[in-house]
Chains A and B, each alone.
Chain A
Amino acid sequence: MRTVTVVGASLSGLYAARELRAQGFDGRLVIVGDEPHRPYDRPPLSKDFLTGRCGEDRLALSDAEESAELDAEWLLGSRARGLDLRDRTVLLNNGRTVSSDGVVIATGASARRLPGPELAGVHTLRTLDDARALRAELTTGPRRVVVIGGGFVGSETASSCAGLGHDVTIVEAAPLPLVPQLGPEMAALCAALHRRGGVDLVTGTGVAALRGTLTVTGVELSDGRLLPADVVIVGIGATPNTGWLAGSTLALHDGVLCDDGCVTALPQVVAVGDVARVGGTRAEHWTSATEQPRIAVRNLLVGHTVETCRPLPYFWSDQYGARIQFAGRRLDTDTVRIAEGTVTDGAPGEDGFLALYEREGRTTAVLSVDRPRPFMRARRELARYADAMEAAAP
């Protein structure tokens, strides 16, 4: 291969570029990014960046020295608008085209928005520009903040806003947030953290409409209630950025469909990160975005799938001074028990807890609140077991 184009200049795109060089690709490397920024880390955006504890310099994923080593052509601020698979040409919105021998699709996902006209004071939190805008608004005095969606982004943002002294309410359509991820018992414990942080959690009701003409003034709930608001943060998930591939023959269904080795139907095109549906699963996890590129790049350079990836799912969340960590693959039928630590008044005790999800006497997943050390041990055991199962599979 003489030219490889990585479309997407965030976490998984940068990791793919690093892997290309690390695995011996010495041809022309082009990195296309729709944002004007060099690769930065998104997890701190809802946490330390929003509260002002960390500045933009701490977000950078790379530095000048590494950039020189990568020896890549960075086309930042350019959005890919098409991929012509006949000659693997990436079409950019500025009219430029990049002919490539190999393509790594790493375009990520975009924050889902509410329908309706745009109002000042309504934010999403996905990009650095999103976070800058929200941070600016949160530093101009106490605000009434309504966070729509009680998932990880919503919860962390609510926690940060509360920490900054704002009056915060979370609206969650489901009876309880995070049930699909944690199951009802543990989701209830984690939901109690909001109470600890002084944040109101309104559940079981959707949003009917946002109120306001130019600037948002409130959130109208589907049960008729009206929550006055100066700032509204919409944290209702993300959709994979596949629109630019609509005209291509690549199979798209909630992401770019790939085999277990991140390879699409075309062996010269691989996909990684939030946009990739790898072996039937699209994981919007930081860890997946850092683990898939090594395998995707290997398969791309070989020309077919020689290695597959099935990393143990892992995610974490920092909220209200607590660190939640989860690893494994749980089913709704698994049982769950607190193996260490305590629960007080339906909330994690002061010293946190470790919970094990079990099926037929075997641990399938582990959840910890403020117990990083036993969590790490359990996570490693789960990974070891999964590897052994994989090796034993026919």
Chain B
Amino acid sequence: MIPVCRLDDLPAGESVRVDTAPPIAVFNADGDLYAVDDTCTHQDASLSEGWLEGCLVECPLHAASFDLRTGQPTCLPARRPLGTHRVTVDDGVIHVHVAAKEDTAA
């Protein structure tokens, strides 16, 4: 469980990048918090810098779009999903629970 920032510091429509390896992006989509892998699955770009609309984020480099609820791409050029991570708020602080990478399982 990784502390990210105070909930007050991430107003609706904003995002923050967590420097884990690989990095994670946390979004406040109109009051709902989502955490996904920060790096676009198409090419090297940070989704925390992307355009947030509803619970979709558009990559700032090639406009691939992802659904933050599932990590699934909603349009090209991305074809692979992002990993998603659970978010909790404890005592006003946002925490990310990093999900184990599926493809590392035997």
Is B46 among interface residues, defined by CB-CB distance under 8 A?
Answer: yes
Taking CB atoms, residues of chain A closer than 8 Å to B62 are 286-287
Q: Which chain A residue shows the least CB distance to B61?
A: A316
Residue in contact with A48 in the complex, picked from B44, B50, B76, CB distance below 8 Å: B44
Is A373 among interface residues, defined by CB-CB distance under 8 A?
Answer: yes
Q: Are A290 and B77 in contact (CB under 8 A)?
A: yes
Instruction: For residue A340, give the distance in angstroms from its CB to the closest CB of chain B.
Output: 14
**How long is the Cα–Cα vector from A287 to B43 in the complex, in angstroms?**
14
Is A44 among interface residues, defined by CB-CB distance under 8 A?
Answer: yes
Q: Are A375 and B79 in contact (CB under 8 A)?
A: no
Interface centre among A66, A318, A373 (most CB of B within 10 A): A373
Is B81 among interface residues, defined by CB-CB distance under 8 A?
Answer: no
Instruction: For residue A318, give the distance in angstroms from its CB to the closest CB of chain B.
Output: 8
Taking CB atoms, residues of chain A closer than 8 Å to B76 are 15, 18, 290
**A122-145 CB contacts (< 8 Å) to partner B:** none
What bracket does the count of chain A residues touching chain B fall in? 20 to 34
Given contacts A15-B76, A66-B79, 7 further A-B contacts (CB under 8 A): A41-B77, A48-B44, A61-B77, A290-B76, A373-B49, A376-B58, A376-B60
**A327-372 CB contacts (< 8 Å) to partner B:** 372
Total number of B residues with any Cβ neighbor in A under 8 Å: 14
Taking CB atoms, residues of chain A closer than 8 Å to B45 are 372
Is A380 among interface residues, defined by CB-CB distance under 8 A?
Answer: yes
**B28-70 CB contacts (< 8 Å) to partner A:** 43-46, 49-51, 58, 60-62
Residue in contact with B49 in the complex, picked from A61, A318, A376, CB distance below 8 Å: A376
Taking CB atoms, residues of chain B closer than 8 Å to A380 are 51
Is A267 among interface residues, defined by CB-CB distance under 8 A?
Answer: no
Is A87 among interface residues, defined by CB-CB distance under 8 A?
Answer: no
Taking CB atoms, residues of chain A closer than 8 Å to B79 are 63, 66
Q: Are A376 and B50 in contact (CB under 8 A)?
A: yes
Instruction: For residue A51, give the distance in angstroms from its CB to the closest CB of chain B.
Output: 12
Is A43 among interface residues, defined by CB-CB distance under 8 A?
Answer: yes
Taking CB atoms, residues of chain B closer than 8 Å to A15 are 76
Q: Are A43 and B51 in contact (CB under 8 A)?
A: no
**How long is the Cα–Cα vector from A44 to B58 in the complex, in angstroms?**
20
**How long is the Cα–Cα vector from A63 to B76 in the complex, in angstroms?**
13
Residue in contact with A372 in the complex, picked from B43, B60, B77, CB distance below 8 Å: B60
Residue in contact with B51 in the complex, picked from A63, A287, A318, A376, CB distance below 8 Å: A376
Instruction: For residue B62, give the distance in angstroms from its CB to the closest CB of chain A.
Output: 7
Residue in contact with A375 in the complex, picked from B46, B58, B60, CB distance below 8 Å: B60
Q: Are B44 and A372 in contact (CB under 8 A)?
A: no
